[in-house]
Amino acid sequence: MQFIPRSAADFTPLGSLPGWLSALLRSRGVDTEEKAYRFLNPDLSGLQDPFLLSGMEETVRLIRHAVASRERIMIFGDYDADGVCATSILLETLTGEGASVSFRLPDRRKDGYGLNESAVREISEKASLLITVDCGISSMAEVALAKSLGLTVIVTDHHQLPEVLPEADAILNPLIGNYPCPYLCGAGVALKICQALQGMEGVQKRLDLAAIATVADVVPLLEENRIIVREGLKRIQSTGRPGLKALLDVAGTSAPVQADALAFRIGPRLNAAGRLGDASLCVQLLLTGKPEKAADVARQLEEMNRRRQNMEHEITDAAFRSISESMSPEDRVLIAAGEGWNPGLIGLSAGKICEKYYRPAIVLSLPEDGGPAVGSCRSIPGVHIFEMLQACSDLLVRFGGHAQAAGLTVEREKIPALREKLNRVIRESCDESVFVPRQEYDLELPFRNWTPETLKELDLLEPTGCGNPPPVFLLSGASVQSMRRVGRDLSHLQLSLVTPENTLVRGIAFFMGEEAEKDHMDVDLLYRPVRNEFNGRVSVEAQVSALRASV
């Protein structure tokens, strides 16, 4: 295991900020006092003019015309948390504008991702304006069909651009042109439409939904996204939405709500409906004004999430067995396939395989009717999986995604050829060094640096996540005083260490209980400093993410 600094540390103070905080900011691209102030004090005044988005003027014109003409508008979204929140934002916004509007979300099993022919034909009989959210940028054939059936089409998306864009009446994607924040998620794009139509008053009403989607869709928490999540979290604390209150309740999330809660508690429950059932339940939950209905739907989502966890465990175990039986030391991508695996859960399994073997992983669900396999990909830094799939596009029915995550459809008889070609493309395109497991850290600091006061300064970096990772620190050459297994199933590790500066450090390492069986004398570890409050006393402990014998 390699411990790699994210960047060379520069402790020169930015203005009056301490050197260690200045170094953390520089590693995140914040290298001037002015940038530091904006980063540490994000507010709504930093949101960009929505009309800087290419296609926004035409989008607003078409929407206002449809509203004035009493035309039926259909929003077509995605079944994940981003798509659900984007649909909810736009539905609520257009309803507020007096539009005659409804929505449709695809069924993951029957329809797959994105627009499809049957949906387009159905929509053409019910509406005259089709607006996609969080999808559509690669749907050339489906948009062409919609146009031929007389629909006006607005595509709003944030995914990677194909070589040829669909011939829609308007397209909104922050990757088109020079929009200052190209990282918006689908709900972020929907929020910009809200801003263009209703100004900041409309934005403030819907920041909560955009914040959930921005965290759940794992887009960089930089620039506008940082503002959306920071301000959205404030709105969530005092939300008046019965659905969001009920969701927070079943998820066991209490104030203050942090970005981690959106990522690991709220997002998974919103995703559960799309994975196992009908994602439109989530739109009903987020927009309902009735507490009784909200509580009922939240309970349904909680049950779906429990089922999802059990099914995911079964698929992941089977996928690991498949990988261990078939993998070769030469493999640069690992592929597992199973009959009838739930397509909504395979991405979670791919992520776990990728994490364990430090290789790009693809998990394929083989439909029981013999149709094409649906796959989900997860990758490692240094292997841009979307670009690798592009090089294999001749073998795929469809594909889409990002650098670290993607989806695909492939005829089952072409899976061996895909495995062979994808391995070759990755070997030829990527340096071997990217396959060496590594953990990144920000700084090496004496542990005595951490006090309740310095932790408050560290909190200024929140919200953390993709693009603004939680700061990780290196502690080298600490002498082990004790290590023991703890937790209900003894899977966690509690440790007590003494640093070279003779500072006592107590810490916890989740799911690392096996380290207690090793004869560690001195260790290096990566950690986050965290508050521990007990009997009114506040101390600082280490939450350990990686540990190795000192080198």
pLDDT of 92: 97
User: Which residues, listed in sequence order, are joined to residue 153 by a DSSP beta bridge?
Assistant: 130
pLDDT of 185: 97
At 511, which amino acid appears? F
- Please, are residues 400 and 159 in contact by the beta-carbon 8 Å criterion? yes
pLDDT of 368: 85
Whole-angstrom distance, CA of residue 46 vs CA of residue 541: 35
User: Do the bridges between strand 100-104 and strand 473-486 make them parallel or antiparallel, or are there none, so unpaired?
Assistant: unpaired
pLDDT of 348: 86
Count of CA atoms in the C-beta half-sphere (13 A) of 255: 9
pLDDT of 369: 86
- Please enumerate, as own/partner, the contacts of 164-170 that have beta carbons within 8 Å and a separation of 24 or more: 164/140, 165/137, 165/140, 166/136, 166/137, 166/138, 166/139, 166/140, 166/142, 167/140, 167/143, 168/136, 168/143, 169/58, 169/62, 170/55, 170/58, 170/59, 170/62
Closest CA to 544 of 501, 496, 481, 499: 496
Whole-angstrom distance, CA of residue 283 vs CA of residue 274: 11
Whole-angstrom distance, CA of residue 94 vs CA of residue 469: 35
- Please, are residues 138 and 400 in contact by the beta-carbon 8 Å criterion? yes
Closest CA to 330 of 426, 397, 257: 426
Closest CA to 174 of 156, 197, 196: 156
- Please, are residues 270 and 81 in contact by the beta-carbon 8 Å criterion? yes
**Rg of the chain over CA atoms, in angstroms?**
24
Cβ contacts of 392 within 8 Å, gap of 6 or more:
418, 421, 422, 425
User: Which residues, listed in sequence order, are joined to residue 441 by a DSSP beta bridge?
Assistant: 5
Mean pLDDT by 10 residues, the chain (551 residues): 90 96 94 94 95 98 97 96 97 97 89 87 96 95 97 96 94 97 97 98 97 94 96 93 95 88 94 89 96 96 93 93 89 93 88 93 92 94 93 92 88 95 94 89 94 93 92 96 93 95 94 91 95 83 94 78
> Mind spelling out the 3-state secondary structure of 359-381?
CCEEEEEECCCCCCEEEEEECCC
Cβ contacts of 98 within 8 Å, gap of 6 or more:
67
User: Which residue is listed with tokens 């030391």?
Assistant: 329
Whole-angstrom distance, CA of residue 375 vs CA of residue 448: 48
Write the Ramachandran bin of 166: left for phi over 0, alpha for psi from -120 to 50, otherwise beta.
Answer: beta
User: Which residue is listed with tokens 């397209």?
Assistant: 171
Q: Considering the entire predicted model, what is its pTM? A: 0.86
pLDDT of 108: 77
At 403, which amino acid appears? A
Query: b vs e for 149-163, b when ≥16 Cβ sit within 10 Å of the residue's Cβ?
Result: eebbbbbbbbbbeee
Domains and CATH numbers, the chain: 50-286 (3.90.1640.30), 327-435 (3.10.310.30), 442-549 (2.40.50.460)
Closest CA to 545 of 438, 435, 434: 438
